[in-house]
């Protein structure tokens, strides 16, 4: 770490006078730091960009910006300008699934990440093979995967620099040596400020830091699935966890049903955190309910509820509503869908013999699974509760004046 600090500060980077770079790859405050003060600053000249990689390595245009950065990280001869930084990087990323063994992948059995992660791994291997072919190189898979993991776990967006001519519709990664030492803390108020005039990137704290405290960054509101896949760690009781629900092919709505539902997607997310004032189904997205409704409703039923708004569900389901029977089907199917997901995850718990040093992997997987189960159980309880209310309403055909207690039915 001393070599990294000397290289960075000798080339224009700065660290707050009350902060110290520690041997275990963290930064701590040895004195108080006031809110709004600059913690770290880096000149643009030390930033690793794809443009630098293309120019230094003289790469053809057929190489994508991501692979250009990978080639730069792996070229020990021509990346000499950043060798102090590259030498300071972790030598392995055992927590990121792309580096797991087959038996470790099986610990994800039953979760969304198991199938999606394996698909991404296969795609990454294809990219690796394609790059080797384009460049006539024999890059070992483990080296390519290492450089890829450096980028997924440490890269920032080029848009941070506010450079003239940056295409915001075409996201590009950059590496900020020295500034990327900070670990993640959710909901931490921070500010990354790129100043193209001064040609510096500055990291400022949004709150006061006491002496002895570790300095953190905030990677954004990321669910555990994204944290595990990109960074190799998870957060217990992550407030930003999500669960993806994909519509089965048998339920894929027709274009007319999609138009009636006002939704155009096949994947929906249960979210632990929502600031949607219209989240009348709790963690269950309104769009999912609307899409399943579109599958069951005929034109007459759809017309009856044409004026339904996300915040107007209390107006639905008078005892003779043509949509009532449809919604009984909707929430029954939704409850079954959630039960199936719960069973898949619950029936494939984290178990088996882990090798030495795999305790952290087990802990991360437990955080991920627990978060998935918690969201699914909340959604299932809501669906069952709403189903009970609808069944009660259906059985009260003569009681047309009673009100449907929507909010009381939510959990």
Measure the CA–CA gap between 291 and 282, rounded to whole angstroms: 17
Measure the CA–CA gap between 282 and 120, rounded to whole angstroms: 31
Residue found under tokens 């100043």: 195
H or E element that contains 121: helix 112-135
Q: What pLDDT does residue 219 have?
A: 87
Report, as an integer, the average pLDDT of 57-73: 97
Pinpoint the residues of the chain covered by CATH 3.90.1420. 242-399
Q: What pLDDT does residue 148 have?
A: 97
Cβ pair 32, 106 in contact under 8 A: no
Q: Which tokens belong to 31?
A: 């004195």
pLDDT digits (tens, 9 = 90+) for 12-44: 999 999 999 887 778 999 999 999 999 999 999
Cβ pair 145, 98 in contact under 8 A: yes
Provide the 3-class DSSP secondary structure of residue 184: strand
Provide the 3-class DSSP secondary structure of residue 74: helix
Measure the CA–CA gap between 395 and 402, rounded to whole angstroms: 12
Answer whether residue 255 shows pLDDT above 60: no
Residue with the larger pLDDT of the pair 317 and 129: 129
* % residues pLDDT > 90 (the chain): 53
Phi/psi for 204 (5° steps) reads -120, 145
| pLDDT band with cut points at 50, 70 and 90 for residue 63 | very high
The 10 Å CB-count burial string (b at 16+, else e) for 44-80 is bebbbbbebbbebbebeeebbbbbbbbbbbbeeeebe
pLDDT digits (tens, 9 = 90+) for 189-205: 999 999 999 999 999 99
Residue with the larger pLDDT of the pair 289 and 148: 148
Lowest mean per-residue pLDDT among 42-46, 299-303, 305-309, 363-367: 305-309
Q: What pLDDT does residue 283 have?
A: 87
Cβ pair 35, 206 in contact under 8 A: yes
Of 384, 314, 403, nearest to 342 (Cα)?
A: 384
Answer whether residue 136 shows pLDDT above 50: yes
Q: What pLDDT does residue 2 have?
A: 85
Q: What pLDDT does residue 410 have?
A: 35
Cβ pair 293, 327 in contact under 8 A: yes
Answer whether residue 243 shows pLDDT above 90: yes
Cβ pair 144, 128 in contact under 8 A: yes
Measure the CA–CA gap between 224 and 222, rounded to whole angstroms: 7
CA atoms within 13 A on the CB side of 51: 9
How far does CA 200 lie from the centroid of its chain? 28
Q: Could you please report the per-residue DSSP string of 302-313?
A: HHHTTT--TT-G
- Say if residue 1 is exposed, middle or buried (CB neighbours under 10 Å; 0-12, 13-18, 19+): middle
Report, as an integer, the average pLDDT of 277-305: 70
Other Cβ atoms within 10 Å of 152 Cβ, number: 17
Q: What pLDDT does residue 37 have?
A: 94
Of 94, 123, 122, nearest to 357 (Cα)?
A: 94
Other Cβ atoms within 10 Å of 137 Cβ, number: 11
Question: Which residues fall within 8 angstroms of residue 150, CB to CB, at 6 or more apart?
Answer: 73, 89, 175
Q: What pLDDT does residue 389 have?
A: 81
Pinpoint the residues of the chain covered by CATH 3.90.1410.10. 1-89+154-220
Q: Could you please report the per-residue DSSP string of 42-71?
A: EEGGG-B-HHHHHHHHT--TTS-HHHHHHH
| pLDDT band with cut points at 50, 70 and 90 for residue 280 | low
Lowest mean per-residue pLDDT among 98-102, 239-243, 276-280, 292-296: 276-280
| pLDDT band with cut points at 50, 70 and 90 for residue 181 | confident
Of 121, 154, 127, 146, nearest to 63 (Cα)?
A: 127
Answer whether residue 291 shows pLDDT above 60: yes
Residue found under tokens 């520690």: 22
Q: What pLDDT does residue 165 have?
A: 66
Residues composing the chain: 411
Domain 1-89+154-220 has CATH 3.90.1410.10: yes
Q: What pLDDT does residue 65 have?
A: 96
Alpha helices in 136-263 (DSSP H): 141-154, 224-230, 255-261
Angle, CA of 76, 80 and 82, to the nearest 5°: 105
Could you list the beta-strand ranges (E) of 223-316. Answer: 242-246, 267-271
Q: What pLDDT does residue 323 have?
A: 60
Measure the CA–CA gap between 153 and 151, rounded to whole angstroms: 5
pTM, two decimal places: 0.83
Answer whether residue 302 shows pLDDT above 80: no
Q: What pLDDT does residue 168 have?
A: 65
CATH number among 3.90.1420, 3.30.1120, 3.90.380, 3.10.450, domain 242-399? 3.90.1420
């Amino acid at each position: 770490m001393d070599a990294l600090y000397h290289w960075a500060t000798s080339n224009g980077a700065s660290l707050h006078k009350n902060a110290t770079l520690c041997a275990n790859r963290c930064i701590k405050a040895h004195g108080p730091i006031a809110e709004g003060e600059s913690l770290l600053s880096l000149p643009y000249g030390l930033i690793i960009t794809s443009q630098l990689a293309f120019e230094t390595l003289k790469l053809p245009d057929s190489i994508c910006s991501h692979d250009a950065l990978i080639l730069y990280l792996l070229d020990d001869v021509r990346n000499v300008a950043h060798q102090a930084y590259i030498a300071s990087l972790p030598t392995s990323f055992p927590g990121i699934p792309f580096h797991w063994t087959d038996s470790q992948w099986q610990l994800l059995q039953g979760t969304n990440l198991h199938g999606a992660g394996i698909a991404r791994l296969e795609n990454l291997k294809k990219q690796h093979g394609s790059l080797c072919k384009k460049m006539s190189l024999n890059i070992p898979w483990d080296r390519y995967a290492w450089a890829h993991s450096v980028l997924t776990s440490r890269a920032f967006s080029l848009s941070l620099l506010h450079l003239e001519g940056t295409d915001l519709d075409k996201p590009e990664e950059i590496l900020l040596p020295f500034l990327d030492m900070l670990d993640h803390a959710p909901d931490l108020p921070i500010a990354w400020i790129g100043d193209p005039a001064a040609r510096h990137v500055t990291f400022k704290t949004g709150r006061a830091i006491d002496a002895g405290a570790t300095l953190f960054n905030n990677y954004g509101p990321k669910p555990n699935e994204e944290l595990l896949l990109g960074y190799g760690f998870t957060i217990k009781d992550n407030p930003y966890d999500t669960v993806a629900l994909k519509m089965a092919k048998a339920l894929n709505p027709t274009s007319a049903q999609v138009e009636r539902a006002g939704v155009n997607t096949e994947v929906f997310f249960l979210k632990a955190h929502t600031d949607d004032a219209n989240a009348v189904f709790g963690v269950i997205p309104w769009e999912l309910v609307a899409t399943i409704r579109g599958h069951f409703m005929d034109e007459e039923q759809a017309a009856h509820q044409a004026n339904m708004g996300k915040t107007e569900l209390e107006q639905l389901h008078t005892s003779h509503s043509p949509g009532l029977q449809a919604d009984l089907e909707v929430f029954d199917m939704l409850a079954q869908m959630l039960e199936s997901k719960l069973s898949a995850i619950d029936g494939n718990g984290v178990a088996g013999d882990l090798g030495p040093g795999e305790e952290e992997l087990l802990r991360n997987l437990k955080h991920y699974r627990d978060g998935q189960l918690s969201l699914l159980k909340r959604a299932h309880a809501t669906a069952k509760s709403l189903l009970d209310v609808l069944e009660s309403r259906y059985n009260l055909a003569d009681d047309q004046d009673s009100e449907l207690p929507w909010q009381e039915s939510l959990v």
